[in-house]
Structure 1
């Protein structure tokens, strides 16, 4: 939590998405296993989770930040992960089915007290926005969760051509919210992307450590 004297200077709060406001559920491995089963392969979710994570780490820096490249990049991750376990009966349909899962509320859980926290921030007169290394699915997901209208802006790396921890995306976010970096706070689960990156751009930053979102904010915020 920020010291109260600093909190009173904050006019805009940026949130990371996955890992902070919301969480894939039960896991990527479970979702991929569900898709595999529908297209002719039986695989344990835990095995798919391990294969996905290894493939993602290898591939994630290989695509540029554009809608088309991000779509293709996730396609490569999907196919390389699944190919370790067999052949899908209809690979293209399987990928599109899996791709769409990550735009649906059925596959995500909200962090405890998210809705209450967002409403309290809005009631206090502050602007709130999402700043995420994601793609166009995030906007659709937030709409499906009934959260999109809570935010003043949703800034997605694959849509703006920049990604955290590049200070440029933080500067762009502040410009879009008409906020000086020194009056903005970034909250996220990644030390590198959300904390160090934001601080290099001149914002305040807090790491989300898990649990209720409310604990990162002063109690007086919830008395409005």
Structure 2
């Protein structure tokens, strides 16, 4: 049985974007807090007891416990209960609309990502394979401040009807960079989209599994073994 891949001979490291480089939960909470501050600034003053961080904490807890039973507007209404905010349908619609706009604009990388990418970029070509709208993904790269490391021409989004986990998506990216699958590796948080898709295209893969409980460091896909890491920072230990 083949062991997990060796970095020897690798030239390109492909990354997934959302959930691998971008911390979706942190991005959601940052956009929530900014929306909150836009809508409630007139209630905030030193010593007023009005604390946006406490509102965010309350929303986080309610979202975890109510998400399966309640609509988003109900969760927001409960979040603002007991605050000076005059919660009504018009307010909730306006708040949700603005929050949606900011969620498209605010992106938070995982704390370990930028430094890791900079170190890897000194030895490897870095690229991204991501599902989703190309214009939005390009904007996310710009806001992350990593386009000097991963320029737009190394961002690969769905094309010709292919998207992850279709191996055609990965083969297309390889062709554009003019490298064989054996010289590339895919790094991502989705077993189905990133790991399974890449290995079907003949590439090696690394699975970023931040929240798993298992202590295992690898998992099999077919006859191959795939490394499991808890953070992107660990990539510098294997490359």
Secondary structure (helix, strand or coil) at the match of 1:128 reads strand
**Larger deviation, residues 187-196 vs 2-11:** 2-11
Question: Paired residue for 1:155?
Answer: 156
Secondary structure (helix, strand or coil) at the match of 1:9 reads coil
Secondary structure (helix, strand or coil) at the match of 2:109 reads strand
CA contact (8 A) 1:20 1:111 kept: no
Question: Paired residue for 1:44?
Answer: 59
Question: Paired residue for 2:180?
Answer: 180
Question: Paired residue for 1:145?
Answer: 144
Q: 1:169 to 1:38 in 2, by over 3 A?
A: same
Q: Separation in 2 of the partners of 1:45 and 1:34?
A: 15
2:103 equivalent among 98, 101, 104: 101
The question of 1:7 aligning with 2:2 is answered: no
Question: Paired residue for 2:198?
Answer: 198
Aligned-pair CA distance for 1:189: 0.9
Structure with the larger helix share: 1
Deviations 1:96-148 (A, max 9, x none): 6513423324xx13241x22322222221x21111112333222122112112
Q: 1:39 to 1:54 in 2, by over 3 A?
A: farther
Q: Please show how residues 22-171 of structure 1 align to structure 2 within 5 Å.
A: 22-26=22-26, 28=28, 31=31, 44-48=59-63, 81-82=72-73, 87-89=89-91, 91=93, 94-95=96-97, 97-105=99-107, 108-112=108-112, 114-124=113-123, 126-135=124-133, 136-152=135-151, 153-157=154-158, 161-171=161-171
The alignment covers a number of residue pairs equal to 189
Question: Paired residue for 1:62?
Answer: none
